[in-house]
């Protein structure tokens, strides 16, 4: 909810939007700690990591609930990122331990629906609370939900995990991950596909506003279209991915995203066409992304959470790359070039998938150098 309510938070705190944007920058930079947090699920067990993530989240939002201020809001946003770095790999690894690979796409898709449903339902509900009781009104509710979530996980997740034996030697996990071609290739898919998505994600509102003069209400409607596209993509994963196989599903998502990238500048000459193009772009990206996560759960089964941490790093780097390029390219060359670069990034992701599947050899010398470097071999 930070982005849509940015100006409201600033106004409620008596600061300008720039101050809040610095807070968001700090939150994003906190994501670099994820490689150090996510392996907790491999070291201490999935339940411990999940509970640690919930506690981190609850402490953050409780700080604002008790004393609303710019400092506590900063703490809440940073702790929110750190909580996801703990919780997400743990729950994905938890299902990876228990659910057969042939059914894992459906399971991961169901959990990922929480993201789009939070966007579609949670953000509007937070908006109603803010409108009724002020900018900090959602935070006490979130704190109560955090406590309830802790109780549910503590009660439902078994203390003794017969499916996985924790291993405290995290350096071994990272060494295994960083010398695994499948893990590196799968993380590359995450990197390049998220870079493609961020190229469009960051400037679609600017593009719609520049092209059609859309105001805030219309842009919110466009955001809702994206939310439903993400939910539809997750539903497709649940229905299709396990049946056709993860690699085929990922390739289909990448191909659909490339096609949508090409179509957007042309069908986007009308408002309806632009919204249709955005729907196709986001549904194909979400379908690809949610199909990719279960494949990463099997890249290095003995260090699942650590592998999923590497996946998070790939997504983070890709988003950073896309964010770095998109505004610059749009201002100087226009939306068509933005879309073409997004398509190019998706091609890189497809090449990484091909390397993972061993259909063709991509960048063998670089991968061999990395393997020798991290394994210590001559």
Helix (H) or strand (E) holding 279: helix 271-297
> What confidence score (pLDDT) does residue 269 get?
81
Q: Where are the domains of the chain?
A: 6-166, 178-375
Residues 105, 174, 287: CA angle, nearest 5 degrees: 20
**Long-range contact set of residues 327-336: C-beta below 8 Å, sequence gap at least 24:** 327/202, 327/203, 329/199, 330/203, 330/206, 330/207, 335/203, 335/207, 335/264, 335/265, 335/268, 336/265
C-alpha span between 346 and 324 (Å, rounded): 17
- Look up tokens 């003794």; give the residue: 160
DSSP for 202-263 reads TTHHHHHHHHH---HHHHHHHHHHHHHHHHHHHHHIIIIIHHH-HHHHHHHHHHHHHHHHHH
> What confidence score (pLDDT) does residue 377 get?
54
Q: What tokens appear for 25 in the block?
A: 């920058």
> What confidence score (pLDDT) does residue 301 get?
81
> What confidence score (pLDDT) does residue 365 get?
47
| Total Cβ atoms within 10 A of residue 10 | 19
Which residue from 321, 293, 284 is spatially nearest to 195, judged by alpha carbons?
321
C-alpha span between 193 and 321 (Å, rounded): 11
| End-to-end Cα, the chain, rounded Å | 50
Mean pLDDT for each 10-residue chunk of the chain (378 residues)?
74 79 70 73 86 96 95 92 88 87 86 81 83 91 97 90 66 78 89 90 71 58 73 87 89 93 86 85 90 86 80 81 81 88 93 74 47 56
Instruction: Write down the CATH number for the domain with range 178-375.
Output: 1.20.1250.20
268 φ/ψ angles, rounded to the nearest 5 degrees: -80, 20
Contacts of 246 (CB under 8 A, 6+ apart): 105, 291, 292, 294, 295
Q: Give the global pTM.
A: 0.72
Domain 6-166 has CATH 2.60.120.680: no
Distance between alpha carbon 147 and the CA centroid of its chain, in Å?
24
């Amino acid at each position: 909810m930070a982005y849509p309510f940015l100006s409201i938070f600033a106004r409620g705190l008596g600061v300008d939007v720039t101050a809040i944007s610095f807070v968001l920058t700090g939150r994003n930079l906190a994501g670099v700690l994820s490689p150090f947090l996510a392996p907790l699920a491999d070291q201490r067990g999935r339940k411990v990591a999940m509970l640690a993530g919930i506690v981190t989240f609850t402490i953050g939002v409780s700080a604002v609930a008790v004393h609303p201020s710019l400092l506590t809001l900063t703490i809440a946003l940073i702790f929110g990122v750190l909580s996801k770095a703990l919780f997400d790999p743990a729950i994905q690894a938890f299902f990876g331990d228990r659910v057969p690979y042939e059914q894992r796409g459906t399971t991961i898709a169901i959990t990922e629906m929480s993201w789009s449903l939070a966007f579609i339902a949670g953000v509007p509900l937070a908006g109603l609370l803010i409108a009724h009781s002020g900018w900090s009104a959602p935070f006490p509710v979130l704190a109560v939900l955090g406590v309830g979530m802790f109780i549910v996980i503590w009660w439902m997740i078994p203390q003794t995990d017969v499916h996985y034996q924790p291993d405290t030697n995290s350096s071994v996990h990272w060494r295994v991950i960083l010398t695994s071609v499948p893990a590196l290739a799968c993380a590359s898919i995450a990197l390049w596909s998220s870079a493609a998505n961020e190229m469009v994600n960051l400037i679609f509102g600017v593009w719609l506003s520049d092209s059609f003069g859309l105001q805030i209400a219309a842009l919110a409607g466009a955001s809702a279209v994206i939310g439903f596209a993400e939910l539809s993509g997750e539903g497709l994963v649940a229905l299709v991915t396990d049946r056709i196989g993860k690699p085929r599903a990922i390739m289909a998502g990448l191909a659909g995203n490339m096609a949508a990238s090409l179509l957007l500048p042309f069908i986007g000459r009308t408002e309806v066409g632009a919204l249709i193009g955005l729907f196709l772009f986001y549904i194909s990206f979400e379908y690809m992304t949610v199909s990719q996560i279960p494949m990463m759960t099997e890249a290095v089964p003995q260090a699942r959470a650590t592998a999923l941490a590497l996946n998070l790093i790939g997504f983070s780097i890709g988003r950073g790359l896309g964010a770095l390029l998109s505004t610059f390219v749009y201002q100087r060359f226009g939306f068509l070039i933005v879309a073409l670069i997004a398509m190019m990034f998706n091609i890189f992701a497809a090449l990484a998938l091909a390397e993972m599947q061993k259909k063709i050899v991509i960048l063998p010398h670089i991968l061999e150098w990395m393997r020798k470097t991290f394994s210590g071999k001559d």
